[in-house]
């Protein structure tokens, strides 16, 4: 009995136990099934999603900034190149308290107030770029010091970056221009042009000069590296890389030595010089004084330097060669003379008797004075150019009429953009009846024409236009577009693409007329001419013409240079080409408030031409004290 | 002579279990080699694990050869010994990762909580076996206390994962011993009701783990990082897997603890869904064999012990894979027989040894 009960209990126990075991077994199956469902969901249904995540996890696409193309002068002198340097950069979005961070960093690496200001300015400009440099050009010791402490500074990194450098500093700064940090406006423009991708991870873009104009050539193509990284973002290896394509090099027509000679010849004076090779239109030198150091802009200019450049009364950032407009003054006269000959209004033998003034008939008897009181006596066309006789050209202007002047001289490009390969050029002004009507809704008066005849009145030209007009004159009326870049050198193949000098126009001129004007211009630099001193003992035929442009109207007073404030003195002008029988260089010079063209502008031309044609080094710059003395003479 | 020695060695070794265990260990070694980065690092890790396996096999063999009545007698002393060690850990233990779990015993470190995974079911099985004929509520109450004391000590270390496994082991014994459904349902309700209380008892990192489980993306670089990265590993493995040694998540350091608790992510990334199914089947075969052994065990003690050991093994596997695949919170539970680590391997093979002993000694008891 007892046994059976026990046995039955035992069986029942076992039965219950096995029942529970079966339930548990079912539970096990169920839970493993749940796991399977989960695996199936993640590994099959969601596979694509996680696959992408895993790829993103490990592969970062890192843009590789291409090497910017070099800028070299016609002899291979480097005007702009790149060097690598370390920068300390802060990703501000990853940092809570930026000023505190900078203070901390300054215990490791020297950070000057200038650096801080520049950083603040860049931050304010608010680009959507990842990191902003707080310090550039770290030395090895600073790099090492930061590297050891790097873990303390999340969001701060040291990057090796390529920097643009302009080894010649101010020399040719207005031609070469500079690059600067990409602004919001630049970004917008790049997006519009569909070029934004090519600028990923790069901070710089050409802002001014050739750097700006040839940005597409110089820039190159951004490369990409697909970098496999670990969880800490350290790269493990490069999976694939599309190499960047370096930018193309620019080989200029410009001669850096000549440019330097020209800039030094200006000394401390403000002004501009443009020298053009007449047979090609190649720009040999393009000076705008004062210049600036383009290197200041490369890393983002600090506010102090910016203010200094921007607020200087000398306006060093203005490119006077392209943007400065001045009355051409007497440099207008050779073109007037040619107009007289070509239109038949003047014969070479036609002579006037110059009393020292011109009276406009029928215009109320208004008197126009010659610059030389008492006049030049008997004056024909040749003498009128050589001595710059105003009276002769007053009469010629009246006979030609404004529209003929406008039509003829307009062919030489005055009052129009020349189309040089630097941006920012202004048109200037060569007046006409139409223009006055449009501009002032006023009738043109004959009196207006008289002053235009000697390059005054409404006339406004840029030094570049004057140089271009001179080059056309020197080249017998063959017009070439002035250009600074002669060749573009492909960075991959080194092959040169030559910017062919293409004649863009042909002015129908009679050889004998051109020769007459040229002969007169040659005599300008001979004894008896207005630039006789500057033309002393030249070994080549030196054709030139002086000019003076009034800054303020004198209203009948006698112009007394010594009494007038320096900034109110006349601008000195000089145009020239040489050798006159086979012109290799044509140039225009403007010296702001330089007084007479013959005394300040022409000597600069002589130095430049001597150097260019004869390789003659200019005299060493005079010590300041001596110069001071001379100016007081 | 050699034949007799071999016969002696394999006498108490269950072939089916041994084969399955060996297969799983091989899978583990292969995965470990990859998880450790392959090459020399891989070999060093594999060698280390082979040493662990050798020790664990020794322990398994001994357990398999222990006659059942010895086990019976060992239950109480082992349990008490385990409790003492847990108290000692609380006082003298080594602190690592903010938790006091390890006890230094001269040449090696030792986690007493691991011992409890076996000692507790042993103790409970012994206790219930003594009252076999007349199991009452009182007995279950005592059983509950026997469970709670070590579990609370372990949870205090704090080691939530092990506390969970130990209490699971204890619960399985209570359940298999015939805990009434009413009480089970009541416990379930009480458990739910006490969740807020438990929440207030939890350490911050434990709460964080629970929160992160609900939404791993909330803290992708912090607490959710493990889950997100392991799920990415799993998902990117796809159906076929990326192939052995080709798992990018593992090899590029995105997976933390990839040789230990998260080794399954490496496996799943490299062998895909197919590999996972193979692994699940292997685990189910081990568990199935364990349940068969339990069903055929001669006494209540052995039945409960075999059932609890088997289900603890199941819990290991399920919790680990659930955590790696993102459906369970991240608790420190290794994948049995696959994860690198000596202590858990020894514990698991000790349990397997017990199963073998129960199976091979059953006739001796019956007759």
Measured between alpha carbons, how far is A467 from A470 in angstroms, rounded to an integer? Answer: 5
* Phi, psi (degrees; rounded to nearest 5) at A108: -100, -40
Residue from the list B175, B238, B268 with its beta carbon closest to the beta carbon of A20: B175
Looking up tokens 């007081």, which residue turns up?
A: A632
For residue A21, the chain B residues in CB contact (below 8 A) are: 176, 291, 294-295, 307
Q: Which of B92, B112, B123 is nearest to B343 (CA)?
A: B112
Of the candidates A202, A330, A388, A491, the residue annotated as catalytic is: A330
Measured between alpha carbons, how far is A154 from A93 in angstroms, rounded to an integer? Answer: 11
Does residue A591 register a pLDDT over 90? Answer: yes
Contact assessment for residue A341 and residue A381, using Cβ atoms and an 8 Å cutoff: yes
For residue B294, the chain A residues in CB contact (below 8 A) are: 21
Q: How confident is the model at residue A517 (pLDDT cuts 50, 70, 90)?
A: very high
| Integer angstrom CA distances of residue A483 from A38, A254, A281, B46, B123 | 71, 9, 6, 73, 99
Residues A397-431 have pLDDT tens digits of 999 999 999 999 999 999 999 999 999 999 999 99
Residue of B nearest to A229 (CA): B252
Does residue B21 register a pLDDT over 80? Answer: yes
* Residue predicted with more confidence, B182 or B108: B182
- The reply to whether residue A44 touches residue B238, judged by beta carbons under 8 angstroms, is yes
**Catalytic residue check, A388:** no
How many percent of chain A have pLDDT more than 70?
Answer: 90
Does residue B289 register a pLDDT over 90? Answer: yes
CATH of A256-291+319-631, picked from 3.60.70.12, 3.40.50.10240, 3.40.710.10, 3.30.930.10, is: 3.40.710.10
Lowest-pLDDT choice from A617-621, B1-5, B59-63, B284-288: A617-621
Residue A231 pairs in a beta bridge with none
Query: Number of C-alpha atoms within 13 angstroms, CB side, residue B239?
Result: 3
- The reply to whether residue B176 touches residue A36, judged by beta carbons under 8 angstroms, is no
Measured between alpha carbons, how far is B316 from B348 in angstroms, rounded to an integer? Answer: 10
- At how many degrees (to 10) do helices A402-410 and A333-343 cross? 110
How many percent of chain B have pLDDT more than 70?
Answer: 87
Q: What is the pLDDT of residue A558?
A: 53
Our CA-based measurement puts residue B305 at a distance from the nearest CA of chain A, in whole angstroms, of 12
The average confidence (pLDDT) of chain A is: 85
Residues A431-461 have pLDDT tens digits of 999 899 988 888 888 888 998 999 888 899 9
Q: What is the pLDDT of residue B128?
A: 87
- The reply to whether residue A54 touches residue B176, judged by beta carbons under 8 angstroms, is no
The residues, any chain, with a CB within 8 Å of residue A485's CB and separated by 6 or more, are: A210, A214, A250, A251, A252, A253, A421, A499
Q: How many CB atoms lie within 10 A of CB A186?
A: 19
Sheet bearing A543-549, strands edge to edge:
A283-289, A271-276, A585-591, A571-578, A543-549
| B156 lies in some domain | yes
| B6 lies in some domain | no
Number of domains in chain B: 1
Collapse the DSSP code of B116 into the 3-class scheme (helix H, G, I; strand E, B; otherwise coil) and give the result.
helix
Residue from the list B132, B238, B311 with its beta carbon closest to the beta carbon of A43: B238
Q: How confident is the model at residue A624 (pLDDT cuts 50, 70, 90)?
A: very low
Give the rounded distance of the alpha carbon of A633 from its chain centre. 38
B239 touches chain A (CB under 8 A): yes
What integer is the mean pLDDT of B22-45?
A: 91
Candidates A7, A21, A41: best to mutate against B (most CBs of B within 10 A) is A21
What integer is the mean pLDDT of B132-143?
A: 77
- The reply to whether residue B322 touches residue A35, judged by beta carbons under 8 angstroms, is yes
Assigned token pair, A464 = 């570049």
- Under DSSP, the state recorded for A365 is -
* ipTM here: 0.91
B10, B16, B20, B25 alpha-carbon torsion, rounded to 10°: 0
Q: How confident is the model at residue A633 (pLDDT cuts 50, 70, 90)?
A: very low
Contact assessment for residue A330 and residue A455, using Cβ atoms and an 8 Å cutoff: yes
Q: What is the pLDDT of residue A1?
A: 40
Helical residues (DSSP H) of A41-136, grouped into ranges: 47-58, 98-105, 113-125
Q: What is the pLDDT of residue B299?
A: 87
Measured between alpha carbons, how far is A438 from B323 in angstroms, rounded to an integer? Answer: 83
The residues of A whose Cβ lies within 8 A of any Cβ of B are: 6, 9, 13, 16-18, 20-21, 24-25, 28-29, 31-32, 34-36, 38-40, 42-44, 46-47, 49-51, 53-55, 57-58, 228-232, 236
- Under DSSP, the state recorded for B336 is T
Measured between alpha carbons, how far is A14 from B296 in angstroms, rounded to an integer? Answer: 9
Q: What is the pLDDT of residue B109?
A: 58
- The reply to whether residue B248 touches residue A57, judged by beta carbons under 8 angstroms, is yes
| B147 lies in some domain | yes
Q: How confident is the model at residue A201 (pLDDT cuts 50, 70, 90)?
A: low
The residues, any chain, with a CB within 8 Å of residue A159's CB and separated by 6 or more, are: A86, A87, A89, A131
- The reply to whether residue A50 touches residue B231, judged by beta carbons under 8 angstroms, is yes
Does residue B351 register a pLDDT over 80? Answer: yes
Assigned token pair, A577 = 């080409």
Q: Where are the beta strands (DSSP E) in B136-255?
A: none
Helical residues (DSSP H) of B93-224, grouped into ranges: 112-130, 137-156, 160-176, 181-193, 195-201, 204-214
Residue from the list A18, A40, A42 with its beta carbon closest to the beta carbon of B295: A18
Interface of B with A in 100-139 (CB under 8 A): 132-133
Residue A549 pairs in a beta bridge with A571
Sheet bearing B94-96, strands edge to edge:
B94-96, B99-105, B108-110
For residue B237, the chain A residues in CB contact (below 8 A) are: 43
Give the rounded distance of the alpha carbon of A154 from its chain centre. 39
Contact assessment for residue B61 and residue B13, using Cβ atoms and an 8 Å cutoff: yes
Contact assessment for residue A578 and residue A507, using Cβ atoms and an 8 Å cutoff: no
Contact assessment for residue A236 and residue A257, using Cβ atoms and an 8 Å cutoff: no
- At how many degrees (to 10) do helices B300-324 and B68-92 cross? 50
| Integer angstrom CA distances of residue A215 from A33, A243, A252, A556, B197 | 64, 20, 15, 51, 69
- The reply to whether residue B273 touches residue A39, judged by beta carbons under 8 angstroms, is yes
For residue B295, the chain A residues in CB contact (below 8 A) are: 17-18, 21
Residue from the list B236, B239, B325 with its beta carbon closest to the beta carbon of A53: B236
Candidates B128, B173, B242, B252: best to mutate against A (most CBs of A within 10 A) is B252
Looking up tokens 């009326």, which residue turns up?
A: A477
Is pTM, for the whole model, over 0.80? no
* Residue predicted with more confidence, A300 or A615: A615
Does residue A527 register a pLDDT over 80? Answer: yes
Assigned token pair, A24 = 């548990």
Q: What is the pLDDT of residue B209?
A: 66
Residue of A nearest to B289 (CA): A25
Maximum pairwise Cα distance, chain B: 66
Cα-Cα-Cα-Cα dihedral sign, residues A149, A155, A159, A161: negative
B325 touches chain A (CB under 8 A): yes
- Across A57-61, A359-363, A621-625, B312-316, the highest mean pLDDT is recorded for B312-316
Residue of A nearest to B129 (CA): A13
Q: How many CB atoms lie within 10 A of CB A277?
A: 24
Contact assessment for residue A608 and residue A273, using Cβ atoms and an 8 Å cutoff: yes
Lowest-pLDDT choice from A558-562, B48-52, B122-126: A558-562
Q: How confident is the model at residue A147 (pLDDT cuts 50, 70, 90)?
A: confident
Residues A13-60 have pLDDT tens digits of 788 888 999 999 999 999 999 999 999 999 999 998 888 888 776 666
> Residue B224 is part of which domain span?
12-366
Residue from the list B232, B291, B325 with its beta carbon closest to the beta carbon of A53: B232
Q: What is the pLDDT of residue A363?
A: 53
Does residue A500 register a pLDDT over 50? Answer: yes
- The reply to whether residue A32 touches residue B318, judged by beta carbons under 8 angstroms, is yes
* Phi, psi (degrees; rounded to nearest 5) at A442: -130, 150
| B1 lies in some domain | no
Q: What is the pLDDT of residue B110?
A: 67
Does residue B365 register a pLDDT over 60? Answer: no
| B245 lies in some domain | yes
For residue B303, the chain A residues in CB contact (below 8 A) are: 17
Residues B111-130 have pLDDT tens digits of 778 888 889 999 999 998 88
Query: In which region does residue A140 sit, left (phi positive, over 0), alpha (psi from -120 to 50) or beta (all else)?
Result: alpha
Q: How confident is the model at residue A629 (pLDDT cuts 50, 70, 90)?
A: very low
Collapse the DSSP code of A250 into the 3-class scheme (helix H, G, I; strand E, B; otherwise coil) and give the result.
strand
DSSP letters, A411-457, are TTTTTS----SSS-----B---HHHHHHHHS-PPPHHHHHHHTTT-T
Q: How many CB atoms lie within 10 A of CB A71?
A: 28
What integer is the mean pLDDT of A505-510?
A: 90
What integer is the mean pLDDT of A593-597?
A: 80
What integer is the mean pLDDT of B182-202?
A: 80
Looking up tokens 């001419």, which residue turns up?
A: A529
Measured between alpha carbons, how far is A160 from A133 in angstroms, rounded to an integer? Answer: 11
Q: How confident is the model at residue B71 (pLDDT cuts 50, 70, 90)?
A: confident
B172 touches chain A (CB under 8 A): yes
Q: What is the pLDDT of residue A176?
A: 94
CATH of A61-252, picked from 3.90.1310.10, 3.30.2130.10, 3.40.50.10490, 3.30.420.40, is: 3.90.1310.10
B293 touches chain A (CB under 8 A): no
Measured between alpha carbons, how far is B321 from B330 in angstroms, rounded to an integer? Answer: 10
- Under DSSP, the state recorded for A331 is G
Q: Which of B292, B321, B60 is nearest to A36 (CA)?
A: B321
- The reply to whether residue A54 touches residue B172, judged by beta carbons under 8 angstroms, is no
Collapse the DSSP code of A208 into the 3-class scheme (helix H, G, I; strand E, B; otherwise coil) and give the result.
strand
Measured between alpha carbons, how far is A215 from A399 in angstroms, rounded to an integer? Answer: 49
- The reply to whether residue B254 touches residue A231, judged by beta carbons under 8 angstroms, is yes
């Amino acid at each position: 009995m007892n046994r059976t009960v026990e046995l039955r209990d035992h069986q029942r126990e076992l039965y219950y136990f096995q029942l529970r075991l079966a339930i548990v077994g079912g539970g096990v199956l169920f839970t493993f099934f749940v796991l399977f469902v989960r695996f199936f969901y993640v590994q099959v249904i969601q596979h694509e999603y996680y696959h992408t995540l895993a790829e993103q996890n490990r592969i970062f696409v890192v843009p590789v900034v291409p090497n910017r193309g070099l800028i070299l002068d016609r002899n291979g002198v480097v005007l702009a190149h790149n060097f690598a340097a370390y920068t300390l950069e802060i990703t501000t979005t990853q940092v809570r308290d930026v000023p505190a961070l900078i203070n901390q960093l300054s215990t490791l690496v020297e950070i000057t107030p200038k650096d801080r200001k520049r950083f603040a300015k860049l931050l304010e400009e608010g680009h959507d770029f990842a990191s902003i440099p707080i310090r550039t050009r770290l030395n090895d010791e600073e790099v090492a010091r930061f590297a050891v402490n790097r873990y303390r500074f999340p969001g701060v990194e040291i990057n090796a970056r390529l920097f643009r450098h302009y080894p010649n500093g101010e020399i040719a700064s207005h031609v070469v221009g500079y690059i600067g940090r990409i602004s919001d406006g630049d970004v917008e423009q790049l997006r519009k042009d569909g070029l934004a991708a090519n600028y990923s991870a790069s901070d710089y873009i050409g802002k001014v000069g050739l750097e700006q104009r040839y940005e597409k050539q110089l820039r190159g193509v951004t490369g990409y590296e697909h970098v496999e990284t670990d969880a800490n973002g350290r790269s493990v290896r490069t999976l694939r890389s599309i190499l960047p394509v370096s930018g193309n090099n620019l080989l200029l027509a410009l001669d850096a030595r000549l440019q330097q000679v020209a800039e030094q010849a200006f000394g401390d004076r403000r002004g501009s010089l443009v020298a053009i090779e007449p047979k090609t239109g190649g720009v040999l030198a393009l000076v705008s004084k004062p210049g600036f150091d383009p290197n200041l802009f490369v890393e983002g200019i600090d506010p102090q330097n910016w203010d200094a450049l921007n607020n200087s009364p000398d306006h060093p950032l203005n490119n006077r060669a392209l943007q400065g407009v001045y009355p051409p003054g007497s440099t207008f006269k050779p073109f007037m003379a040619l107009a007289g000959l070509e239109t038949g209004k003047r014969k070479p033998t036609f002579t006037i008797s110059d009393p020292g003034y011109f009276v406009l008939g029928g215009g109320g008897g208004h008197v126009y004075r010659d610059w030389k009181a008492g006049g030049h006596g008997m004056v024909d066309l040749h003498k009128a150019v050589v001595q710059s006789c105003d009276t002769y050209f007053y009469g010629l202007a009246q006979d030609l009429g404004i529209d003929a002047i406008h039509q003829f001289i307009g062919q030489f490009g005055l009052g129009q953009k020349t189309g040089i390969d630097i941006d920012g050029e202004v048109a200037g002004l060569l007046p006409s009846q139409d223009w006055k009507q449009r501009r002032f809704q006023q009738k043109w008066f004959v009196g207006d024409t008289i002053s235009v005849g000697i390059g005054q009145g409404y006339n406004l030209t840029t030094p570049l236009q004057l140089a271009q007009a001179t080059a056309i004159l020197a080249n017998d009326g063959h017009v070439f577009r002035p250009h600074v870049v002669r060749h573009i050198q492909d960075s991959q193949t080194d092959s040169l693409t030559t910017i062919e000098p293409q004649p863009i126009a042909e002015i129908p001129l009679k050889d004998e007329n051109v020769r007459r004007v040229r002969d007169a211009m040659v005599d300008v630099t001979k004894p008896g001419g207005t630039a006789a001193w500057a033309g002393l003992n030249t070994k080549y035929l030196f054709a030139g013409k002086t000019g003076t442009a009034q800054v303020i109207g004198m209203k009948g007073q006698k112009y007394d240079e010594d009494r007038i404030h320096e900034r109110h003195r006349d601008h000195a002008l000089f145009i020239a080409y040489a050798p006159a029988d086979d012109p290799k260089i044509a140039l225009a010079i403007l010296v702001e408030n330089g007084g007479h063209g013959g005394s300040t502008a022409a000597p600069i031309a002589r130095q430049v031409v001597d150097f260019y044609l004869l390789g003659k080094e200019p005299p060493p710059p005079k010590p300041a004290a001596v110069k001071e003395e001379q100016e007081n003479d | 002579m050699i034949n007799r020695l071999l016969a002696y060695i394999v006498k108490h070794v269950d072939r089916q279990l041994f084969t399955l265990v060996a297969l799983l260990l091989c899978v583990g070694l292969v995965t470990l080699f990859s998880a450790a980065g392959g090459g020399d690092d891989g070999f060093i890790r594999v060698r280390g694990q082979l040493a662990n396996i050798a020790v664990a096999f020794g322990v398994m063999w001994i357990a398999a050869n222990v006659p059942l009545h010895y086990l019976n007698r060992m239950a109480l002393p082992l349990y008490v010994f385990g409790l003492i060690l847990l108290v000692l850990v609380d006082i003298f233990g080594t602190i690592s990762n903010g938790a006091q779990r390890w006890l230094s015993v001269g040449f090696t470190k030792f986690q007493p909580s691991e011992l409890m995974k076996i000692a507790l079911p042993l103790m409970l099985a012994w206790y219930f076996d003594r009252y076999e004929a007349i199991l009452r509520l009182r007995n279950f109450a005592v059983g509950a206390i026997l469970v709670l004391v070590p579990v609370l000590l372990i949870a205090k270390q704090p080691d939530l994962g092990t506390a969970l496994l130990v209490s699971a082991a204890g619960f399985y014994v209570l359940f298999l011993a015939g805990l009434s459904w009413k009480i089970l349902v009541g416990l379930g309700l009480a458990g739910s009701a006490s969740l807020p209380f438990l929440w207030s008892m939890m350490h911050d990192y434990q709460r964080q783990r629970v929160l992160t489980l609900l939404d791993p993306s909330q803290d992708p670089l912090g607490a959710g990082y493990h889950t997100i990265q392991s799920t990415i590993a799993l998902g990117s493995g796809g159906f076929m897997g990326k192939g052995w040694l080709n798992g990018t998540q593992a090899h590029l350091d995105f997976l933390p603890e990839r040789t230990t608790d998260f080794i399954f992510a490496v496996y799943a990334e490299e062998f895909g869904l197919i590999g996972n199914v193979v692994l699940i089947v292997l685990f189910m075969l081990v568990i199935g064999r364990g349940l068969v052994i339990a069903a055929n065990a001669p006494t209540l003690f052995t039945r409960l012990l075999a059932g609890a050991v088997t289900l603890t093994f199941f819990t290991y596997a399920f919790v680990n894979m659930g955590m790696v695949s993102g459906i369970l919170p991240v608790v420190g539970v290794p994948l049995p027989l696959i994860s690198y680590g000596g202590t858990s391997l020894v514990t698991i093979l000790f349990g397997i040894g017990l199963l073998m002993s129960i199976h091979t000694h059953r006739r001796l008891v019956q007759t």
